[in-house]
């Protein structure tokens, strides 16, 4: 099950995020999302857990819990929406 973790401190690392969730069960992957231009954390991440019951336990235990001075928002991740083609417009050229 994929879990969204928001309102993370900008100093939180992927390894630290994994460690937080391992208390509730087996973590398949954990990643803090980074800005591709600055290399800074965007303040949110995703954790993949092997079992749904373990993931639900982690959500219950960690949602609203303070970590590095910030209360985390933890819930089931929603599937990504297909935004369709992304093309720049522009007028006709004659």
Residues in Cβ contact with 67 at an 8 Å cutoff, skipping those fewer than 6 apart: 8, 9, 12, 20
pLDDT tens-place string over residues 19-70:
999 999 999 999 999 999 999 999 999 999 999 999 999 999 999 999 999 9
Q: Helices 52-62 and 14-22, interaxial angle, to 10°? A: 100
pTM to 2 decimal places: 0.83
Instruction: Return the domain boundaries, the chain.
Output: 2-76
With respect to CATH, is domain 2-76 assigned 3.30.70.330?
A: yes
**For residue range 73-94, what is the model confidence (pLDDT) as tens digits?**
999 999 877 666 666 555 566 6
């Amino acid at each position: 099950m994929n879990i969204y973790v928001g309102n993370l401190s900008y100093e939180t690392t992927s390894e630290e995020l994994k460690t937080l969730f391992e208390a509730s069960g087996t973590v398949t992957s954990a990643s803090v999302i980074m800005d591709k231009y600055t290399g800074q954390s965007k303040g949110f991440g995703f954790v993949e857990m092997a079992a749904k019951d373990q993931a639900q336990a982690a959500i219950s235990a960690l949602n609203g819990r303070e970590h590095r001075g910030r209360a985390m928002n933890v819930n089931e991740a929603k599937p990504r929406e297909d935004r369709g083609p992304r093309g720049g417009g522009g007028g006709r050229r004659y």
